[in-house]
Structure 1
């Protein structure tokens, strides 16, 4: 079964917002501390968006290069035209994918899928390698690729987050689209740790009602999904929340929540 697209939220946490000052400083000073730290959180949230865009472009470029392979184009063209035996084409395409990406695990790719121009899976690498013939034509990034666009998105699957990129495969004669290649990369823990290092804040990723990855102890985070739900209108309007103080255990922190979505802008192939 292919992944289901899902909406999820990135939560950035700032640990220890001058907890001592909250008791000994005048209220105006306390508010000023939160204001200054809130500005830092705003900058961190903006920087996180830039990191997301950079990561999206990296994987889009990667899958676009795969989509230009002549051997892959020839096999997907045959599948699209109904020429050749499906099992033989499946084995040919799967072997070609393995030759193109011999280091799949080390580069972080969980799944690689090739479809013909009807959206039928011709071969997979990674998850469910023996399965083929299913249609995934309704998947947005696949539809985009079959229309000639490079695109990316973020999907949820079994409590995990995956960044997905897709690219069209053009016929050897360069006159039509014969299929698409889709790459899926697991995100969550790797992303949370990278952002903590680069942004200097704590990070939690929330999928629905569940915190699926965090650089903070899970015991502190049980109320995050409810907080995000309470701010859903603000997020829908402004694509993020304002920096807001919250209490976690015995510490006072600031939180900024924003939707973690795909790159959104399509690029012509």
Structure 2
């Protein structure tokens, strides 16, 4: 089932990757829309400021008709120089203002019109009857009116009684080249109709506020809820304390309501600046709340741009691979299981054919076969057992077994440190020291190799070996040094007489040392030593029978064992030849009885950094 499981993992990874990519796309889309909304709001605020300036210029142009009206000029001349404005001047001026305003188009009509004399006193008005009760009411203190009385065209924004008014002023001249005799002032209240007019021209959602309250608002873009502008009132207090709003006249983009959009607050120039008058432009926030938001917000055009054939190919390929893996790892093994189960029921087979199953079905089939065998055994039948190879192929020849043993360390001695050593043969001169023989690596009294006996080949550089079941014999290097006086240096027994001496053989001739030196360098020298012949070759040359008297061979093994222990850093105190010989004899008798061999050959090797003995049965 590994293919199906891997396919499930791949599908899970692809699904997770798709979700991750869509989530990244949602985040990038929202972030870029947020940046675009902020840039759009900044542009909207600038466009609204320009639109209000253009509207003021148009009203100033239209106000020229009132500035050159003879009736208005006559009413101003009648008031100039008088302590009180005559009633005739008031009536004549008001009548002229009404006639002027009625002639204007609807988009240019004014809500309030004033006539001011040379000193800024109110001569006549239309649309603001609240000033009739104030006889000393004047307009000369406003910067816009003051500039108009001095011949300038001005526009401004006033805040009266919690209301915002857009103001334009124009001087009234009686004679060309003479100072103005008065001024005409026109006001347009900033209400919802004014906000709709500005919003329609600029395609913005706009709201005007003053004294911490929203004054007027209008929504001019599709999809924007005008009621969300009412939430600006709760944010105006924080806006008034904003550092950027106080110093630069505008704030950064702030969230609108419950983060449904963004809003930017701008301060109105002129007289309204000090009274906290301003406007705000707002935009809805276009964002996707979740990866599935792409499906909700997509329209027919977006859906047409999707390559449905590619989506179909992906779905078909994924389904094809899924069906293929399901067939290979489920349907086909189950069909095989069903077929064999029917054969088992009909008696055509006794057990399930295991090679026909793959994957996790094979252990199941194995358990079923094991269960069948258990049922057969419980019913008294003969259980199916593994084939007897010996009954089929015949008796298997007995193989000699090998045994290895080592001597225990004396009590209180520390285990030796491992020393790299070749477990095979030892070559080279015997090192001097306790237990060394000093006689070419041989124990005193051991028979030297025969080199003059007729019929035997002369010794060569490498010692010949007589294999015992494929095991090589140990060889020793000859140094040609003279034997040491005093016999056995290790404190052991005197040397055992050579078996050749017992049989009356002539005294052996010492094995000559053959060496050769070759000049390799300035201080380098290489020496080749002739190894000692094996014990089998010595016994064959001298006629000795090691099976009858193996003392000489064991003496050589004892020397090799002592030397190897010293090379490995092991203590040799208390290890005498008598103890060593008793151990070898005990193991030899046990192996001869076990394997039925004629004799046992012992050799020394290094095992895990310690000297050990290996016993090899010899049948001939």
Distance 1:194 1:161, change over 3 A: same
- The answer to whether the Cα contact below 8 Å between 1:154 and 1:261 also exists between their aligned partners in 2 is yes
Task: State the Cα deviation string for residues 7-31 of structure 1 (Å, max 9, x = none).
Answer: xxxxxxxxxxxxxxxx985655433
Partner of 2:123: 122
Q: Give, in whole Å, the separation in 2 of the partners of 1:98 and 1:46.
A: 35
- Please state how far the C-alpha of 1:245 moved relative to its aligned partner: 3.9
Q: Summarize the alignment of residues 174-253 of structure 1 with structure 2, pairs less than 5 Å apart.
A: 174-215=177-218, 216-217=226-227, 219-231=230-242, 233-242=243-252, 244-249=253-258, 251-253=259-261
Q: Summarize the alignment of residues 29-178 of structure 1 with structure 2, pairs less than 5 Å apart.
A: 29-82=29-82, 86-102=86-102, 106=106, 107-128=108-129, 131=132, 134-172=137-175, 174-178=177-181
- Please state how far the C-alpha of 1:219 moved relative to its aligned partner: 4.8
- The answer to whether the Cα contact below 8 Å between 2:131 and 2:137 also exists between their aligned partners in 1 is no
- Please state how far the C-alpha of 1:83 moved relative to its aligned partner: 9.8
Q: Give, in whole Å, the separation in 1 of the partners of 2:217 and 2:82.
A: 47
Q: Summarize the alignment of residues 250-265 of structure 1 with structure 2, pairs less than 5 Å apart.
A: 251-262=259-270
3-state DSSP of counterpart to 2:78: helix
3-state DSSP of counterpart to 2:260: strand
- Please state how far the C-alpha of 1:238 moved relative to its aligned partner: 3.0
Which ranges in structure 2 are unaligned for 5 or more consecutive residues?
Answer: 1-22, 219-225, 272-620
Q: Give, in whole Å, the separation in 2 of the partners of 1:85 and 1:241.
A: 47
Task: State the Cα deviation string for residues 43-63 of structure 1 (Å, max 9, x = none).
Answer: 211211110110110112222
3-state DSSP of counterpart to 2:102: coil
- The answer to whether the Cα contact below 8 Å between 1:247 and 1:253 also exists between their aligned partners in 2 is yes
- Please state how far the C-alpha of 1:247 moved relative to its aligned partner: 4.3
Distance 1:173 1:214, change over 3 A: closer
Q: Give, in whole Å, the separation in 2 of the partners of 1:84 and 1:159.
A: 30
Partner of 2:495: none
User: Which one has the bigger strand percentage?
Assistant: 1
- Please state how far the C-alpha of 1:124 moved relative to its aligned partner: 0.9
3-state DSSP of counterpart to 2:233: coil
Task: State the Cα deviation string for residues 208-251 of structure 1 (Å, max 9, x = none).
Answer: 211112233265233231232132x2134333223x241413x4
Distance 1:127 1:234, change over 3 A: same
Q: Give, in whole Å, the separation in 1 of the partners of 2:200 and 2:24.
A: 31
Q: Which has the higher contact order (CA 8 A, sep 6+)?
A: 1
Task: State the Cα deviation string for residues 124-149 of structure 1 (Å, max 9, x = none).
Answer: 11111882553222122111111111
Q: Give, in whole Å, the separation in 2 of the partners of 1:167 and 1:145.
A: 5
Which ranges in structure 1 are unaligned for 5 or more consecutive residues?
Answer: 1-22, 264-269
Q: Give, in whole Å, the separation in 1 of the partners of 2:176 and 2:201.
A: 45
RMSD of Structure 2 on Structure 1 (CA)? 2.8
- Please state how far the C-alpha of 1:82 moved relative to its aligned partner: 3.0
Distance 1:24 1:254, change over 3 A: farther
- The answer to whether the Cα contact below 8 Å between 1:122 and 1:133 also exists between their aligned partners in 2 is no
3-state DSSP of counterpart to 1:152: strand
- The answer to whether the Cα contact below 8 Å between 2:75 and 2:123 also exists between their aligned partners in 1 is no
Distance 1:201 1:101, change over 3 A: closer
- The answer to whether the Cα contact below 8 Å between 2:148 and 2:183 also exists between their aligned partners in 1 is yes
- The answer to whether the Cα contact below 8 Å between 1:116 and 1:178 also exists between their aligned partners in 2 is yes
Which structure has the greater CA radius of gyration? 2
